[in-house]
Amino acid sequence: MINQLRDALRSFIGVEKLCAVSIVVPLEEGFSNQKKNFISIKDALKEARDEVARYPIDRDLALKMREQFKRFEEEIDFHAGGGTFVAFIDEDDITTFQLPFTTAKKVVVDTTFEVRDLIFTLNRLTTYWVLKLSMKNTELYFGFEDKLYAETDFFMPSYDNAFTTRRKEYGSLYRWRIGGYDQEKKEVETRKLYFKRIAEQVEEILEQTPHTPLFVMGTEKNLGYFRNTTNLGKQVASEIKGNYEFLTVGQVGKLVWPYVQEWVEKRRAQFLKEELEEAFKNKRIATGTQDVWKAAVEQRIFILGVERKFIQPAAVSNANPYELMLGTQAPDGFTPHKDLVDDIIETVLQKKDSEVVFVNPSDLEDHGRIVAITHW
């Protein structure tokens, strides 16, 4: 989910249009606020219409944009509430997102879309997976901060349905495959097969996010079955014991969030106290914006450490990507970067074997507020 969303937003970076409209509307949570959210989107649309009417475009383009606004108004589609609704509208296309975080309202008409700030926020969210084990309804969620969202690519039938499916698959060999006539052994073997199928599905989905922690919840027995069938051992951040079969996604999120916060603090301490020390000892380290940018250009970064609130505007030479000028000035021959730190984060996140660890302000004060543990 996170990679797909980031890639979808990233595809709008640098896209130039004669008239690019960006509508960003924070939504209130809860089904009861659906009407209120719909009105907020309509109000933003009216504001966009007014902005385009004042924008210097020719008559034909203005007519096309009016048609696009009308189409958008007729086809507005968003979930009941929560997060942020985003629409990118131009003379040819309409693309909408419902992002899993809240950001400020914006209505912008320009030749490019307002996407950088959205990616900036997304890149700094705490992300994680949650697997709720159950014999009736096993579910996989993706977490952004304290909010969870169901992973739509994951589906696991109930234990009873899986049992029937297995029996059909094995046919006449089924009884022999799961323990013959021994009822107790048959039950154990069937459960092993059930949790093995869960593990296989989860492993396939998590393959693209190997550094994103997984929190597994369920009864002690179910956790044991899953533990013995999965290859995700190191990625499992915590096992949360209990029968959570009938909890809603909101209840699961509230329950798991303290465990996530505890893991974030442990990961921060491990990075600062163990991994950095080892990297300095082995001379596989880059510190400060200049050196870390060089490591990013050379794709040498294994783990990137960044203070959460660190932002660094800079300009990069068009002729030599290693040549930087820190600050907001961009002389001829240089491309300005609103935040070079975010560009470095983007470079690291595009490689699935690399990781970004966010630390507290002042944690890296002696190292230029940003460091990279490098492959070489």
Interval 12-26: pLDDT, tens: 998 999 999 999 999
- Reduced 3-state DSSP string for 293-319: HHHHHCCCEEEEEEECCCCCCEEEECC
Please list, in sequence order, all residues whose beta carbon lies within 8 angstroms of the beta carbon of residue 352, skipping any fewer than 6 positions away: 208, 209, 210
Residue 67 confidence (pLDDT): 97
Phi/psi of residue 231, nearest 5 degrees: -105, 15
Nearest CA to 299 out of 338, 248, 351 is that of: 351
The per-residue pLDDT of the chain, averaged, comes to: 91
- Site of tokens 């008409």: 109
In 3D space, the residue among 74, 129, 82 whose CA is nearest the CA of residue 102 turns out to be 82
Nearest-angstrom CA–CA distance, 125 and 128: 10
pLDDT tier at 179, thresholds 50, 70, 90: low
Compute the average pLDDT of residues 102-117.
94
Task: Output the pLDDT for position 96.
Answer: 95
Is it the case that residue 269 has pLDDT exceeding 90? yes
Q: Tokens 């960006």 sit at which residue?
A: 22
Segment 112-135 shows an average pLDDT of: 94
How confident is residue 193, by pLDDT bands cut at 50, 70 and 90? confident
Exposed/middle/buried for 255, CB within 10 Å: 0-12, 13-18, 19+? middle
pLDDT of 187 over the 80 cut: no
Q: What digits encode the pLDDT tens for the residues 303-342? A: 999 999 899 999 999 999 999 999 999 999 999 999 999 9
Q: Identify the band that residue 176 occupies on the pLDDT scale cut at 50, 70 and 90.
A: low
> Which domains are delineated in the chain?
2-123 (3.30.960.10), 127-263 (3.30.420), 283-374 (3.30.1330.30)
φ, ψ of residue 61 in degrees (nearest 5): -65, -40
Determine which of 130-139, 149-158, 204-213 has the lowest per-residue pLDDT on average. Answer: 149-158
Give CA separation, 28 vs 35, 99, 122, in Å: 10, 13, 19
pLDDT at 222: 95
Got the DSSP string for 181-195? T-HHHHHHHHHHHHH
Most confident of 2-6, 12-16, 282-286: 282-286
- Confidence at 168, pLDDT banded by 50, 70, 90: low
Whether 37 contacts 129, CB under 8 Å? no
pLDDT reading at 173 higher than 50: no
pLDDT tens digits, 240-259: 999 999 999 999 999 999 99
* Residue in the block written with tokens 């997984």: 214
Q: How confident is the model at residue 373 (pLDDT cuts 50, 70, 90)?
A: very high
